[in-house]
Amino acid sequence: MEPIPDRHTGDAPTAVVAKRVDRGSADLTEITELARAAGYEVTASLSQARDQDPAYHFGEGKADELAALVAREDADVVIIDNEVGPYQTFNIGSKLPEGAEVVDRFTLILDIFGQRAQTRKAQLQVELAELRYELPRAEVKASLAKRDERPGFMGLGEYDESRERDIKAQISRIKDELDAIAETEEKRRERRRESGFDLVALAGYTNAGKSTLLRRLADDLAVDENAERHPDLDSTAESENQLFTTLGTTTRRANTGKRDVLLTDTVGFISDLPHWLVESFKSTLQSVYHADLVLLVVDASEPVEEMREKLVTSHDTLYERNEAPIVTVFNKVDRLGDDELRRKREALSALAPNPVCASGLTAERVDELRARVEAELPDWKRERLLLPLSDETMSLVSWVHDNGHVDREEYDSQQVDLEFEAPPSVVEQARSRAADLDHEATAESAESP
């Protein structure tokens, strides 16, 4: 049994965490943090290295040891850092003291998601994940409910033969609503691009420091939260040291130099997530998949092997659907020396050939990150327009300043000579408006005596 720091307050429900691995030693750090993020007070832990037992997941002797530990700690729940089948859950639960529950890794994660879901979109995604988790277990739970003598054990309740049909109908309804939300968000992204904004997404594991980097890069004073064209800009982006602080998306405006950028922070990745859970949150990940640039944030203070594993998993998730360039950011460099950072860069060069090294906390080398963002974004077009001098022309010039970067602006008594760089969509709009101005000027000239 591994010792757990004494954090007992008497207010939170208590938990024992447990994990089985096929071989080697089990690391319970993450599941302990997940349990605390869900509101549990972890008082003890237990692990075992052996092949999975079909009846108890652990060996039966270890299941007895786990039950004794739960009894000794008077714990409310045992949290198992594995995916445990319904029959295994029932068998383990039958050994526990009256009132103690069994929760597996994915049930715990869904619990955290449910607690953090604030928006309608986040709530729908949590509900979808819960239903997908429940669907293949509906029949098994039915048979277990008939055998269970303790009311409410595992929350099984009475079996309803229509439950599976209800689950499938609910999944279909939620997917339709999420598709409608995704369509609205895609239209919003296009409006932003047409307004001259580049879309940059922050991706990476929980606690990699994405929210801290967002706060460091964000240009708070430039954001008008009530502006009509930015209806979802959040006033704050939390950077607490806990998992899943950011469940939905947080978007803020940043200025990297010439470019106006909208940065979006999304829910953090976490290891060993099954496909059905990632799929349930693909609506949130659309902000990543449809970005102009992705910043993959990695905690550089972690061991090399852990960084490698997270980079591989992140690449699997991102490259499946993402078409934008990906820049790896080694964050938290304030926590390690130059020699250690150099060794990690060399060791991970195949996965991160040219990372940006920075610290969101101290702002160390953040300017290099800004410059890299600007360099990696899609190329702007250069344009030169000769415009007739008029009030409408001045309005167009002002609009180009807002949506691009003006390199030269010269006036004479008849016209304005304007040279600028801007996204292709802005250049096309400027050309169209300039053509209208030329047409109006020509018509007015023809009508003059």
Residue 85, both tokens: 């089948």
> Domain residues for 308?
195-376
Do residues 433 and 408 both lie within one domain? Answer: yes
Do residues 210 and 359 both lie within one domain? Answer: yes
pLDDT of the residue at 100: 94
> Would 139 be classed as within a structural domain?
yes
Do residues 107 and 125 both lie within one domain? Answer: no
Q: Is 14 labelled as part of a ligand binding site?
A: no
Sheet holding 41-49, edge to edge: 41-49, 14-21, 77-80, 101-104
Do residues 330 and 211 both lie within one domain? Answer: yes
Do residues 249 and 370 both lie within one domain? Answer: yes
DSSP 205: B
Q: Is 337 labelled as part of a ligand binding site?
A: no
Write the DSSP assignment of 331-377 as a string of letters: E-GGGS-HHHHHHHHHHTTTTSSS-EE--TTT-TTHHHHHHHHHHHS
Q: Is 133 labelled as part of a ligand binding site?
A: no
Q: Is 265 labelled as part of a ligand binding site?
A: yes
Do residues 325 and 231 both lie within one domain? Answer: yes
Do residues 92 and 129 both lie within one domain? Answer: no
> Would 7 be classed as within a structural domain?
no
Q: Is 212 labelled as part of a ligand binding site?
A: no
Q: Is 246 labelled as part of a ligand binding site?
A: yes
DSSP 388: E
CATH number reported for the structural domain that contains residue 44 in this entry: 3.40.50.11060
Q: Is 24 labelled as part of a ligand binding site?
A: no
Do residues 88 and 173 both lie within one domain? Answer: no
Alpha-carbon torsion 411, 417, 423, 428, what sign? positive
Q: Is 277 labelled as part of a ligand binding site?
A: no
* Domain count within the chain: 4
Q: Is 272 labelled as part of a ligand binding site?
A: no
Rounded Cα gap, residues 261 and 198, in angstroms: 5
Q: Is 99 labelled as part of a ligand binding site?
A: no
Rounded Cα gap, residues 125 and 276, in angstroms: 11
Q: Is 289 labelled as part of a ligand binding site?
A: no
Q: Is 182 labelled as part of a ligand binding site?
A: no
Q: Is 209 labelled as part of a ligand binding site?
A: yes
Q: Is 297 labelled as part of a ligand binding site?
A: no
Beta carbons of 422 and 383 less than 8 angstroms apart: yes
Q: Is 314 labelled as part of a ligand binding site?
A: no
Do residues 90 and 137 both lie within one domain? Answer: no
Do residues 245 and 393 both lie within one domain? Answer: no
Which of the residues in the chain have pLDDT under 50?
Answer: 1-9, 149-158, 220-246
Q: Is 208 labelled as part of a ligand binding site?
A: yes
> Would 4 be classed as within a structural domain?
no
Q: How many angstroms separate the Cα of 168 from the Cα of each of 158, 172, 173, 284? A: 19, 6, 9, 22
> Would 186 be classed as within a structural domain?
no
Who contacts 3 (Cβ-Cβ below 8 Å, separation ≥6)? none
Question: Closest Cα to residue 285, out of 246, 255, 252, 341?
Answer: 246
Q: Is 331 labelled as part of a ligand binding site?
A: yes
Q: Is 425 labelled as part of a ligand binding site?
A: no
Do residues 286 and 425 both lie within one domain? Answer: no
> Would 26 be classed as within a structural domain?
yes
Instruction: Express the helix, strand and coil content of the chain in percent, nearest 5 each.
Output: 45, 20, 35
Beta carbons of 308 and 351 less than 8 angstroms apart: yes
> Would 438 be classed as within a structural domain?
yes
> Would 83 be classed as within a structural domain?
yes
295 φ/ψ angles, rounded to the nearest 5 degrees = -100, 110
Q: How far is CA 438 from the centre of its chain?
A: 47
> Would 87 be classed as within a structural domain?
yes
Do residues 38 and 174 both lie within one domain? Answer: no
Q: Is 332 labelled as part of a ligand binding site?
A: yes
CATH number reported for the structural domain that contains residue 388 in this entry: 3.30.70
Show which of 69, 88, 113 is a domain's final residue. Answer: 113
- DSSP H or E segment with residue 405: strand 405-411
pLDDT of the residue at 121: 80
Q: Is 38 labelled as part of a ligand binding site?
A: no
Q: What's the one-letter identity of residue 143?
A: S
Show which of 319, 349, 376 is a domain's final residue. Answer: 376
Rounded Cα gap, residues 56 and 421, in angstroms: 65
